[in-house]
Chain A
């Protein structure tokens, strides 16, 4: 696919939760992530797009090593996750969370928040930490005097900068940005995105950008994967995907972007309002109840991913619709 080596890769990762149905009724499996293979090439930004509840955050947890996949494997620079401890994974991969109001411990000063990774991993002497914190604050564009403040004294954008400083202080290879701007004001969003982009170039970072905001993804990403009910239904280079969306779901998503012109009204996506219950996914293609181009075969058979150059689509509209029974078996 791409020449660059994958900094992070998932191979057919599945994550099943067992959800209790109430007292004495047993637990049903919920496939939050259902056979996802995703490559995040070194030095690139991969966008992961999808509705709430489609498994994006579970993917983030799996990549961070916080959640063990039920099957499949995560590869860090080509090596299986089994060979890494959580601390080793932590040195390679760091998260930036959505809500900077809950991602910083309110009882700690900014200095102790940013220096915490150094402390946990015993990096350098404690006497060097405050210099390192000051350096990181410079990098993320915060004045040095905030080191002694508490998170409650900072604004949302400043807090997100602190979260970025904390993620980067150990110089990780990959940063997983889980909706890094969706809790921020629009005016601050672009500042944070530009900061992320500058840092990527300066420090040679690799990002997985998880978002439901297509504008953000278009602005940042080199490659985009669209996720629906635990599956990646379409994956392509950002430009290709935005210019030539293939999967009906991707097209609906792109069509759902609001325009500032009030006369245009709210766009109609033909998606309906009901997101299917992931405990009871529909048979066949999981998207078929909401699909505007649903065919007979979609109701019974799950499609198989079809690659066309670097553009992978999982839909019966494209390529052959040969037998693909794996998902049907899963959905029993």
Chain B
């Protein structure tokens, strides 16, 4: 037909061979990216280890975390010379419960709180944010008002009020945190959806006759997912720290449940003579939060490169 037709196959044939040499399969590319991303690797390994510990807790824990033995109160961990008990590697607390077992079971509480809070707040925040960002106008104004109302309420005071009203329990902590940590999800999702909404592929989908729910779920949502994972991990770490803080203050998980925050509180009186009572749960919290943050950051880098 025209002169370009003659040139076209030639151009593409050259390109094809060049790309075949340079372009590895998607899986090997993904593997290379994961191995090249150290923060993702370190985060994933620590996180996987903590997960394994939480799931295998009944097998790993040397003792029942609730078993008291008042004859063996406050034994020292293994690196001390005096007052150690070979049965309790990391010693015991003030009522003679095995500290290692309590730390191991504490990971269950932290992960449980982190995940359930992230799920509840993630669903609320994403629905609100994506709706506001996509529809804009009045809907956006209403959602903004809800976000501002939420930001005006301090989590701690509301948590205390809820504890007074409903009593302290794991469920109350999860519900309070879940119903209060969605603001960052909403704000981030709203602004990213707003950007995505104006892109031509959304317009193309509308011109194709796609319904609005289809466009939101199938066109926009996959493109905001990488930001969503980052917010989700940040909020999960945040929820774990908040639970520890609430438990430390006595408004969270109640004794004798083994929660790292609660263990910090119980060890407070012995801070000067048995600092490990504070240091051990503190290090556990630190490692978990660090691992989640590294993992989230790395996950974004590993998954996002395909899009750009």
A residues whose Cβ falls under 8 Å from a Cβ of B? 64-66, 85-87, 89-91, 93-95, 97-99, 102-108, 116-117, 120-121, 141-143, 145, 150, 152-153, 163, 166, 190-191, 194-195, 197-198
Contacts and interface: CB of A to CB of B under 8 A. Distances in A.
A102 B205 CA distance: 12
A141 B11 CA distance: 11
Interface stretch (B153-161, B195-203, B238-246): B195-203
Interface in B5-45: 5, 8, 12, 16, 23
Given A66-B206, A117-B208, A145-B16, A107 B200 contact: no
B256 interface: no
A166 B203 CA distance: 13
B195 to A, nearest CB: 10
A104 B201 contact: yes
Contact of A94 (B16, B207, B223): B207
Contact of A87 (B5, B12, B209, B308): B209
A190 B200 contact: no
Contacts, number: 81
Contacts of B201: 102-105
A194 B2 contact: yes
A296 B8 CA distance: 57
Contacts of A117: 208
Contacts of B82: none
Given A90-B207, A90-B209, A99-B200, A106 B223 contact: yes
A94 B214 CA distance: 19
B208 A116 contact: yes
A76 B223 CA distance: 35
Interface size class of B (residues with CB under 8 A): 20 to 34
A175 to B, nearest CB: 11
Given A116-B205, A145-B16, 5 more contacts: A94-B208, A97-B200, A106-B307, A190-B4, A195-B4
A27 to B, nearest CB: 12
Interface of B: 1-2, 4-5, 8, 12, 16, 23, 199-201, 203-210, 214, 219, 222-223, 225, 306-308
Given A143-B16, A152-B308, A97 B203 contact: yes
B200 A191 contact: no
A116 B211 CA distance: 13
Contact of A107 (B206, B214, B223): B223
B199 A102 contact: yes
Nearest to B15: A143
Nearest to B206: A66
Given A102-B200, A106-B307, A120 B222 contact: no
A121 B209 contact: yes
The 8 A-B pairs of least Cβ separation, nearest first, read: A90-B209, A103-B200, A87-B209, A107-B222, A97-B200, A106-B307, A105-B201, A102-B199
A191 B206 contact: no
B207 A120 contact: no
A141 B8 contact: yes
A107 B307 contact: yes
Nearest to A93: B207
Residue among B200, B219, B222 with max Cβ neighbours from chain A (10 Å) = B200
A86 B203 CA distance: 13
Contact of A143 (B1, B12, B222): B12
Contact of A95 (B199, B204, B209): B204
A166 B201 CA distance: 11
A64 B223 CA distance: 25
A197 B3 CA distance: 13
Contacts of A166: 204
Contacts of A65: 207
B198 to A, nearest CB: 9
Nearest to A155: B15
A151 to B, nearest CB: 9
Contacts of B209: 85-87, 89-91, 120-121
B2 A198 contact: yes
Nearest to B198: A102
8 contacts: A86-B206, A103-B200, A105-B205, A143-B12, A143-B16, A150-B307, A153-B23, A190-B4
Contacts of A91: 209
A302 B299 CA distance: 61
Given A105-B201, A143-B16, A198-B2, A64 B207 contact: yes
Contacts of B308: 106, 152
Residue among B2, B199, B203, B204 with max Cβ neighbours from chain A (10 Å) = B204
Contacts of B12: 141-143
Nearest to A100: B200
A120 B307 contact: no
Contacts of A102: 199-201
B9 to A, nearest CB: 8
Contacts of A93: 207
A194 B12 CA distance: 17
Contact of A152 (B206, B208, B210, B306): B306
Residue among B12, B201, B214, B225 with max Cβ neighbours from chain A (10 Å) = B201
A74 to B, nearest CB: 14
Contacts of A94: 207-208
Nearest to B3: A194
Contacts of B204: 95, 97, 103, 163, 166
A145 B225 CA distance: 27
